[in-house]
Structure 1
Amino acid sequence: MKVGKLDTDLLRKIVFRHITFQREEVLVRPGVGEDCAVVDFGDYACVLSTDPITGTASEVGRLAVHISCNDVASNGVEPLGLMLTIMAPEGTTADEIEEIMKQAGREAGKLNVEIIGGHTEITTAVNRMIVSATAIGRQIKSKVVATRGAQVGDLVLMTKTAGLEGTAIIAHEKADQLIAYMGPDMVNSAKIMMDKISVVPEGMIGGAIGTSSMHDITEGGLLGAVWELCEAAGVGIEIYMDKIPIAAETERVCKYFGIDPLRLISSGCMLMTISMDKEKDLLEALKEQGIQGTVIGRVTTGGRFLIDGKEKLEIAPPESDELYKVV
C-alpha cells in the first residue's frame, strides 16, 4: 500500500465494514470526511477526534496539539481537553521528549486547552518520533456542525491559503536546499506559516454564524478535503481554480519539488459551506479576526469539478499526500 492514510475504498472495505456494533448515544460515527465522533451527553454533545503526527520530525509537539483541536473546531466546538501519546524510537533523549512537551504545553495554553492525560514510551516499534493526540470538546447538541451538512446551492469558502502546513513543514525540513533557490527571507517566511495552523478561531466563528458544514484541510490538501466533503454530504461541487489563494512561498516550494499545492497537507485552512444569505456575515466576522476568507466555489447536485479556465477537470479521490514525495 502507498504511504499515507488509507484511501476511501480501503477504509470502507477493511476498516468501516468491521465496525458493526452501535450504541444509541453515538450521534456521529466513522465515515469518509467525518473527522470527529459525537456522543450524546444529554443537553450537550461530547465531540472527540484523534490524529497522529508522522510526516515530520520538526515541531511535532506543536503540530500534534493543533491537528486534533482543528478537527474538533470543524464541528463548531471549542476544544477543552487533550490527551497525548508519544512513541519515541530507541536512542531518543530526555531533552527531545521535553522539547515535545514544551511545544505541546505552550500551544495548548494558547488555545485554552488542558492536556489531561496520555502515554509516553520509548520503543523499537518505531524509527522516528510519533505523537498521537486526542482532542475533546463539548457543545450544545443542536449547535454541532458536521461535514455531511453541506447543501446544494451553498457557497464554498476556504480560509487562509492552500498548502499552508505542508509549506511550513518542508521549509523546516529542507531549509538548506531551499535557501539556495528562494533565499533565506522567503524560507523564513515559509517557516513561520506554521504560526497559522490553528483553525479553532474560524471554527468558532463558523459555528456562531451558522455554516452548513466545515472540514479542516489536512492530508490530501484542498482537493482531497473537497472530495471528502462531497462524499460525506452526497453532493457535487464546482471549485474555481482562479479563486484559490496560494501564497508565493507555497508556489516557490511546490515548483522546486515538483508537487501540487492543491494536494499538499493544509492544516490551518478550513473548508466551509454556507448559504448565500450568510456569506457577508461570515466574511466580515473572519476579517474582524484577521482571518483571510475566500469564496472558491459552490455546492451542486452532482459531479465534483475543478474549473480551470475553459477546462472542467474531475476531482479525484485523495491519494498519498504530496508531502511524502519530499520528506
Structure 2
Amino acid sequence: MPSWVGKLPSDILKEIVLDNVNSFKKASTLIGAEIGEDSAIIDLGFCTLSIHSDPITEARYHAGSLAIDVVTNDLAVTGVRPKWLILDILMPENSLYSSLNSIIEGAVKEAKKLNVEIVGGHTESTPGLISPIIIGTAIGCSCKECYIPTRNAKEGDLIFQINPAGLEGSAIIATDFREHALLSGVPSDILENASEFINRISIMNQALELSDKRLVNSMHDPTEGGMLGGLYEIAYSSGHDIEIDQKKIFAEEETKIISEKLKIDYTKLISSGSILATIPLNKKEEAEKTLTNINTRYSIIGRVLNPSDNPKVIVKNSNKITFIDSPPQDEISRLWASKNE
C-alpha cells in the first residue's frame, strides 16, 4: 500500500483529488482547485472573493499564530487583503484546557496585529491525534482586475526571492526539535535566535505593497518543500520552465548552521516568511526601489523560461545542474518521519 509524507505527488493529486473535485465547476469560479494556486477566486459580480485554507501540522509551538500567518500569506500573494478568518482546532484526547488556551491566545493576538477578524470555526478533541491540528481559512475581496494568480508568470520574468529562506522551518526546529538539534551540535544561542524567526512569518504587507503597485506578474508563498517546492509550483501552474542559480538563494546564518548540523537542505525547508515573485524586466528597478524603501531584503535568483509540456525547475549550482519535476519532500516532514520511526 503506497504511503507518503507531506504533499501528494502532483500526478496522484491530480488523479485522485483534482480530477474529481473539478468535475463540477460553477461559471463564477475564476480559479478553483489547482496545483500551485494560493487561493480560490470567485466572481460575485460586485467583487471577486478570495478564499484559502491551510493546516498547521508540522509545528506544535506557536501553532496558533502560525495558523493565522500562513493562511493570510496565501491570500496576500494573490494581491488580496485578508479580512476574515475561520479557525478549526483539533486537539488530541485528554488535552489540557491550558494548551487550547495557548493556541487561541496566539491566534487572536496575531489576527489583531494583522487587522483580520476571526468570525467562526470549530473546536474539538479528536481521537488518534498526537498533536493539535489547526486549520485556518482566510477570506477577502478585491476588484475584478486586482487578483494575481500564480499561473500568471510570464516568459522573461525575473524571479525575486524576498526575505530569507527557511524562517518557519528554522523556528520549528528550534522549538519542536530542540533536543535533537542540540545533540546534533547546534549551539543553544543559535536555536534561541532561530526561535525568534516565528515573529517574521507574516509577509502580508510586503506582498500587498508589490501588488498594489502592479509590479508583479505572479507571487507565491513557499511553504512545504521550501523555495524549491514553491518554484516548482510556479512552474507547474504557469506551464513554464524556470531556471535558478541555487547559490543566490539566501538564508540567515542560523538557518545555515542548523541545516549543516542536521544535514538538511534549507532550500527544501518550509519557508513561510518568504515570497517568490516573478517580475517583468521593465519593472525590475521600481520593484527593487520599493523593496529597499520598506527595508526588505531580496535576491534575483533566476528567470522564467519558455512554455513547457512538462514544466520543471532547472537548478544550477556551480557546474552541477539538477531538475525538479515534482514537489520535493519538505525537510520538516522528513524530520518528523524519522522522529516517529
If the TM-score is normalised by the length of the shorter chain, which range does it land in?
A: over 0.9
Shift of residue 120, structure 1, vs aligned partner: 0.5
1:278 matched to 2:283: yes
| 1:130-279 paired onto structure 2 within 5 Å | 130-179=133-182, 181-210=185-214, 211-279=216-284
Conserved 8 A contact 2:149-2:218? yes
Return the letter of the residue paired with 1:208: D
In structure 1, what is the equivalent of residue 8 of structure 2?
6
In structure 1, what is the equivalent of residue 298 of structure 2?
293
Conserved 8 A contact 2:228-2:328? no
Shift of residue 35, structure 1, vs aligned partner: 2.2
Distance across 2 between alignment mates of 1:23 and 1:205:
32
Distance across 2 between alignment mates of 1:88 and 1:144:
35
Distance across 2 between alignment mates of 1:3 and 1:312:
26
Shift of residue 177, structure 1, vs aligned partner: 4.1
Distance across 2 between alignment mates of 1:319 and 1:306:
13
Shift of residue 192, structure 1, vs aligned partner: 0.7
1:322 matched to 2:337: no
Conserved 8 A contact 1:2-1:320? no
Distance across 2 between alignment mates of 1:308 and 1:189:
29
Identity of aligned residues (%): 35
In structure 2, what is the equivalent of residue 313 of structure 1?
322
Distance across 1 between alignment mates of 2:253 and 2:225:
20
Alpha-carbon displacement from aligned partner over 1:121-166 (angstroms, at most 9, x marks no partner):
0121422201000000111110100000000001000111111110
Shift of residue 22, structure 1, vs aligned partner: 1.1
Alpha-carbon displacement from aligned partner over 1:36-69 (angstroms, at most 9, x marks no partner):
1001122311100001111121111011101110
Return the letter of the residue paired with 1:109: K
Return the letter of the residue paired with 1:87: L
Shift of residue 81, structure 1, vs aligned partner: 0.6
Return the letter of the residue paired with 1:6: L
Alpha-carbon displacement from aligned partner over 1:263-305 (angstroms, at most 9, x marks no partner):
1110011100010111121122122222212111111115531
Return the letter of the residue paired with 1:17: D
Shift of residue 108, structure 1, vs aligned partner: 0.5
Shift of residue 91, structure 1, vs aligned partner: 1.0
In structure 2, what is the equivalent of residue 25 of structure 1?
28
Conserved 8 A contact 1:153-1:299? yes
Say which is worse superposed, 159-168 or 308-317, in terms of deviation: 308-317
1:96 matched to 2:93: no
Say which is worse superposed, 100-109 or 119-128, in terms of deviation: 119-128
Structural RMSD (CA): 1.3
Where does the alignment leave 5 or more consecutive residues of structure 2 unmatched? 337-341
Distance across 2 between alignment mates of 1:311 and 1:55:
31
TM-score, length of structure 1 as denominator length:
0.97
Distance across 2 between alignment mates of 1:314 and 1:326:
23
Distance across 2 between alignment mates of 1:60 and 1:300:
37
2:164 match: secondary structure: coil
Distance across 2 between alignment mates of 1:202 and 1:273:
14
Shift of residue 198, structure 1, vs aligned partner: 0.8
Return the letter of the residue paired with 1:185: D
Alpha-carbon displacement from aligned partner over 1:73-107 (angstroms, at most 9, x marks no partner):
11011111110000101111111111101000000
TM-score, length of structure 2 as denominator length:
0.93
The one of 107, 119, 123 equivalent to 2:122 is: 119
Conserved 8 A contact 1:257-1:326? no
Distance across 1 between alignment mates of 2:245 and 2:25:
40
Return the letter of the residue paired with 1:34: E
1:304 matched to 2:308: no
Distance across 2 between alignment mates of 1:258 and 1:54:
22
In structure 2, what is the equivalent of residue 85 of structure 1?
88
Distance across 2 between alignment mates of 1:316 and 1:199:
27
Return the letter of the residue paired with 2:169: G
Return the letter of the residue paired with 2:335: V
In structure 2, what is the equivalent of residue 42 of structure 1?
45
Return the letter of the residue paired with 2:61: S
In structure 1, what is the equivalent of residue 79 of structure 2?
76
Conserved 8 A contact 1:35-1:71? yes
Return the letter of the residue paired with 1:2: W
Q: How many residues align?
A: 327
Distance across 2 between alignment mates of 1:51 and 1:76:
18
